[in-house]
């Protein structure tokens, strides 16, 4: 009899555990909102349209946005677009269009925060936190400016031509930039903080780096991961010549204590050597190229409009008259956080009931056995 009761209680517990598992899977599912090529919106009531301007009216959870319509402005108005914090997930915002601007979003917990898949878009004044890749651009002629990116393996991933990254703030836990197969990339007027040993990862050069502020860096700031044939000639100096200057490096005076200003220009007279090497997983990083900032700045470059952690709404949006809805990207309706908590509570109660049932039955059996002995 005891075995039967234990088996029954175990089944109750396993059923409860399965509810937890199902609830977890459903919580991780992601639906898709579309701004269609004809300008219509499907999948939500939380995006308000006025002409070519689209405004978020409330935060959205576990729904990504795919933009198919050209020449629009998608304004987050300071609201949050949050993913399920699980991988793999789609991009939070996918720009499959051209001439579009995405601005004022707080994008969190996606594999890619904002993905640029087609040419000629602008990504500005967004906060991207806890995404594996903050912004990924696989296209040409992008303007990426005024964004704040933190807690990312790669703040910026780029494969393209003539893309500009300016006035951004990178509080990178990993790489600030991963650049491959690119030309004409301009990286200027950004604040870059990182304690990662490698801040840039690239195959060739193809980019210019000047008028940035680099803080709290380890010594290895550029890694050639895939191309053992690169030479010094493949990399432009990390500066804009004299007297325009290069970048500010927070460790410059410690590395070069005898440096002085060139003609009172605020530029150090000793070049800053940017460590560059070839990544080999079987041995330590080996420096092979000399990349220099020939005209390092002695004080931080003034960047008054660099990206901030909290995006600012451009206007006060009109609240949506109905709650957010989703399309058929998922066959199961999305559970709210409270519903997930309720499921967990029910499971806990069932588990406790099963445990109490076992204890009571076992105690009764022991008491009966003792009474027979007595």
Q: Are 134 and 169 in contact, with CB atoms under 8 Å apart?
A: no
Domain boundary assignment for the chain: 2-22+338-373, 32-293
CATH number of this structure's domain 32-293, picked from the four choices 2.160.20, 2.40.10, 1.10.3470, 1.10.10 = 2.160.20
Q: Are 203 and 182 in contact, with CB atoms under 8 Å apart?
A: no
The residue assigned the tokens 């493949």 is 234
Q: Taking residues 239-249, what's their average pLDDT?
A: 97
pLDDT band, very low/low/confident/very high, at 86 (cuts 50, 70, 90): low
**Residue among 236, 235, 132, 231 nearest 175 (CA):** 132
Q: Taking residues 65-86, what's their average pLDDT?
A: 95
Q: Please tell me the pTM assigned to this model.
A: 0.75
State pLDDT tens for residues 30-45.
Answer: 999 999 999 999 999 9
- Report DSSP letters for 58-108, one per residue: S-EESEEEEE--SS-EEE-TT-EEE--S-SS--EEEEE-SSS-EEES-EEE
**Residue among 212, 126, 207 nearest 160 (CA):** 207
State pLDDT tens for residues 279-326.
Answer: 554 445 555 566 889 999 999 999 987 877 777 665 444 433 333 333
CA 154 to chain centre: 8
Q: What percent of the chain has pLDDT over 90?
A: 55
128: phi then psi, degrees, rounded to nearest 5: -125, 110
Q: What is the pLDDT of residue 334?
A: 31
Q: Are 172 and 187 in contact, with CB atoms under 8 Å apart?
A: no
Q: Taking residues 182-196, what's their average pLDDT?
A: 92
Q: What is the pLDDT of residue 194?
A: 81
CA–CA distance, 239 with 208 (Å, rounded to integer): 7
Q: What is the pLDDT of residue 196?
A: 77
CA distance readout (Å), 262 to 144, 179, 350: 33, 32, 75
pLDDT band, very low/low/confident/very high, at 15 (cuts 50, 70, 90): very low
**Residue among 362, 373, 346 nearest 19 (CA):** 346
Q: Answer yes or no: is pLDDT of 165 > 50.
A: yes
113: phi then psi, degrees, rounded to nearest 5: -65, -60
């Amino acid at each position: 009899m005891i075995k039967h009761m234990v088996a029954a209680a175990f089944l109750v517990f396993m059923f409860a555990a399965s509810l937890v598992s199902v609830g977890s899977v459903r919580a991780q599912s992601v639906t898709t909102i579309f701004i269609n090529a004809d300008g219509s919106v499907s999948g939500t009531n939380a995006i308000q349209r006025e002409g070519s301007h689209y405004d978020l009216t409330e935060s959205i959870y576990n729904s990504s946005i795919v933009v198919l319509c050209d020449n629009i402005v998608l304004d987050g108005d300071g609201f949050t677009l949050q993913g399920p914090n699980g991988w793999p997930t789609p991009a939070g915002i996918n720009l499959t269009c051209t001439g579009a601007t995405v601005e004022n979003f707080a994008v969190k917990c996606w594999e890619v925060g904002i993905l640029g898949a087609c040419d000629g878009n602008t990504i500005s004044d967004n906060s991207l936190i806890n995404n594996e890749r903050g912004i990924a651009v696989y296209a040409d002629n992008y303007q990426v400016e005024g964004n704040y990116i933190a807690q990312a393996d790669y703040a910026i991933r780029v494969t393209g031509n003539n893309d500009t990254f300016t006035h951004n703030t990178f509080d990178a836990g990993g790489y600030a930039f991963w650049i491959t197969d690119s030309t004409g990339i301009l990286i200027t007027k950004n604040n870059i903080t990182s304690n990662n040993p490698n801040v840039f990862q690239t195959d060739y050069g193809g980019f210019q780096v000047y008028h940035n502020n680099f803080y709290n860096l380890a010594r290895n700031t550029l890694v050639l991961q895939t191309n053992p044939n690169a030479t010094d000639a493949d990399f432009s100096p990390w500066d804009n010549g004299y007297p325009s200057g290069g970048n500010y490096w927070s460790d410059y005076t410690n590395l070069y204590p005898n440096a002085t200003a060139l003609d009172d220009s605020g530029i150090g007279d000793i070049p800053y050597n940017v460590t560059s090497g070839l990544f080999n997983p079987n041995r330590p990083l080996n420096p092979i190229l000399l990349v220099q900032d020939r005209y390092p700045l002695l004080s931080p470059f003034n960047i008054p409009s660099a990206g901030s952690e909290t995006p600012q709404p451009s206007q006060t949006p009109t609240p949506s008259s109905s709650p957010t809805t989703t399309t058929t990207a998922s066959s199961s309706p999305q559970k709210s956080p409270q519903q997930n908590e309720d499921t967990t509570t029910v499971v806990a109660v069932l588990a406790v009931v099963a445990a109490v049932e076992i204890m009571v039955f076992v105690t009764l059996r022991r008491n009966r056995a003792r009474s027979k002995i007595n």
